[in-house]
């Protein structure tokens, strides 16, 4: 048995095992591997690019903020307190970065076969020059070298942004966000292109924490009278315009379902009044979110912002953990998601608009071939977003292509999103997507379903062009 001292990233990783297919995949990949990164949807922190401060220690870069990492450790019995996750009531948690890092390193085998392992190894090898696996034995070697490097200027956010060859990256902000970091980036003279996206859940979802106060704040920010539905919609319009000024080309909507509605103005006004002036029923909350997707589509048709819909996650499934630690603790669990009935009211009104772009995502793979590909393969306004979240992984990406392509083709899809909060994962994630797409195209070539010249054009489209065009970047 070998020793574990192997290159952490192999040049042929994720390519097909069959030599003929691997050869085609290599040729395709060679032409796309160095393309700039277009990242039209994600959750990196604009403060990083604005302040350009060094990242803190290795644990606080890799472990503490990443719920993909700590959920796995938690599932195997590690307490979140021992990983330095802050509690809502301020009770004490681990503060020693090295001890957190060691707990993680000792359990690195838990990540075998996961996308987290793939991107971490990529970052360890390419950013920090490791060629030995992370483990209990190598924990301190890792910690020391990463800590040392993070203090160097070349590891500050803007330097990494440039090293990663990022052409443009979008962050995601609430309408209530003043976008001061985005303004600071612009005013700094730095050339990196960091744009925002309009994510109105806090002022659109009546079940969001502090919803009514959020709506009031939106009214104040915009000077609109949010006591009426018309005024509330006007506030959205103004705020969208401000986001557009700050670079936004898209909006994003994270609803529990894909339900849409198309109420009459009178019905909509009455619903808004109920929502704002009484205890909200879950049916009214769902109906209001549904109506607001249609309203947002109407505004997108006016102002040209591309609309992203991310439905189907049951957020904060773990009640005890939510009470103690809050949101984003790795306990958002997907549920079965219908699109064919849910989207009909919106599509009845705007489905045939050629100037509107709605990008649909799913966490429910069963919808790919059954509903999403047929819908996107017909309606001019619809496109399919890439494999999302738990499917943002080689097997998930492969299934996405296999389940979607035959019905929707490649050109009703929009390239790749990294959708990440983990800055050092960005190059790895785009690299994985490019490799998996090249592998898929290579299979089509060697089974004679596609000519190789077409596969080259497609590899470029999937890695670069489609994202730019769909998101108007």
User: Residue 191 or 448: which CB sits closer to a copy of itself?
Assistant: 448
**Phi–psi pair at 105, nearest 5 degrees:** -60, -40
Give 37's strand partners.
166
Q: Rounded to the nearest whole angstrom, what is the least distance from the CB of residue 310 to a copy of itself in the complex?
A: 15
User: Residue 234 or 353: which CB sits closer to a copy of itself?
Assistant: 353
| Cα 394 to Cα 379: distance, rounded to the nearest angstrom | 28
Q: Rounded to the nearest whole angstrom, what is the least distance from the CB of residue 3 to a copy of itself in the complex?
A: 7
**Within a 13 Å sphere around the CA of 66, how many CA atoms are in the beta-carbon half?**
22
Instruction: List own/partner pairs for 225-228 with CB under 8 A and 24 or more apart.
Output: 227/276, 228/269, 228/272
User: Residue 186 or 344: which CB sits closer to a copy of itself?
Assistant: 344
User: Residue 154 or 336: which CB sits closer to a copy of itself?
Assistant: 336
Q: Rounded to the nearest whole angstrom, what is the least distance from the CB of residue 370 to a copy of itself in the complex?
A: 5
DSSP 371-428: IIHHHHTT-TTEEEPPP-GGG-SHHHHHHHHHHHHHHH-STTB-------S-GGGHHH
| Cα 258 to Cα 369: distance, rounded to the nearest angstrom | 17
Tokens at residue 251, please? 């909006």
User: Residue 34 or 453: which CB sits closer to a copy of itself?
Assistant: 453
Q: Rounded to the nearest whole angstrom, what is the least distance from the CB of residue 330 to a copy of itself in the complex?
A: 5
- CA 425 vs. chain centroid, Å, equals 12
| Cα 470 to Cα 357: distance, rounded to the nearest angstrom | 8
User: Residue 229 or 464: which CB sits closer to a copy of itself?
Assistant: 464
3-state secondary structure of 253: strand
Q: Rounded to the nearest whole angstrom, what is the least distance from the CB of residue 45 to a copy of itself in the complex?
A: 24
Q: Rounded to the nearest whole angstrom, what is the least distance from the CB of residue 384 to a copy of itself in the complex?
A: 11
| Cα 431 to Cα 32: distance, rounded to the nearest angstrom | 9
User: Residue 217 or 333: which CB sits closer to a copy of itself?
Assistant: 333
Q: Rounded to the nearest whole angstrom, what is the least distance from the CB of residue 30 to a copy of itself in the complex?
A: 12
């Amino acid at each position: 048995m070998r020793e574990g001292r192997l290159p952490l990233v192999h040049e042929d990783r994720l390519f097909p095992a069959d030599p003929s297919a691997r050869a085609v995949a290599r040729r395709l990949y060679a032409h796309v591997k160095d393309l700039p990164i277009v990242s039209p949807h994600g959750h990196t922190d604009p403060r990083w690019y604005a302040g350009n401060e060094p990242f803190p220690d290795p644990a606080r870069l890799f472990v503490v903020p990443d719920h993909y990492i700590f959920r796995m450790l938690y599932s195997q019995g590690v307490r979140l307190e021992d990983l330095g996750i802050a509690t809502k009531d301020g009770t004490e948690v681990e503060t020693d970065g090295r001890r957190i890092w060691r707990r993680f390193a000792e359990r690195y085998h838990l990540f075998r076969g996961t996308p987290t392992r793939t991107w971490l190894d990529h970052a360890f090898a390419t950013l920090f020059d490791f060629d030995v696996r992370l483990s209990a034995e190598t924990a301190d070697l890792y910690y020391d070298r990463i800590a040392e490097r993070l203090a160097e200027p070349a590891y500050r956010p803007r330097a990494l942004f440039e090293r990663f060859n990022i052409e443009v990256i979008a962050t995601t902000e609430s309408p209530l966000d003043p976008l001061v970091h985005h303004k600071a980036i612009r005013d700094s003279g730095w050339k990196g292109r960091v744009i925002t996206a309009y994510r109105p859940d806090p002022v659109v979802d009546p079940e969001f924490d502090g919803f009514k106060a959020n709506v009031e704040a939106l009214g104040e920010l915009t000077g609109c009278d949010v006591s009426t539905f018309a005024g509330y919609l006007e506030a959205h319009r103004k705020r969208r315009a401000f986001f557009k000024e700050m670079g936004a080309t898209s909006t994003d909507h994270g609803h529990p379902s894909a339900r849409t509605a198309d109420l009459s103005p009178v019905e909509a006004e009455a619903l808004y009044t109920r929502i704002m002036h009484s205890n909200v029923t879950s049916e009214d909350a769902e109906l209001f979110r549904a109506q607001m997707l249609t309203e947002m589509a109407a505004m997108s048709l006016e102002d040209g912002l591309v609309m992203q819909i991310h439905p189907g996650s049951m957020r904060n499934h773990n009640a005890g953990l939510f009470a103690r630690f809050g949101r984003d603790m790795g306990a958002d669990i997907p549920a079965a998601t219908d699109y064919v009935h849910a989207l009909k009211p919106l599509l009845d009104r705007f489905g045939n608009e050629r100037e509107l772009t709605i990008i649909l995502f799913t966490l429910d793979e069963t919808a790919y071939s059954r509903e999403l590909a047929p819908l996107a393969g017909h309606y001019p306004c619809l496109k399919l977003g890439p494999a999302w979240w738990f499917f943002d992984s080689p097997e998930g990406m492969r299934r996405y292509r296999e389940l979607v392509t035959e019905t929707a083709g490649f050109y009703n899809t929009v390239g790749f999103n990294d959708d990440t909060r983990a800055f050092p994962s960005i190059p790895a994630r785009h690299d994985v997507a490019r490799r998996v797409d090249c592998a898929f195209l290579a299979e089509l070539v060697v089974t004679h379903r596609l000519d190789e010249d077409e596969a080259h054009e497609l590899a470029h489209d999937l890695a670069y062009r489609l994202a730019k065009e769909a998101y108007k970047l």
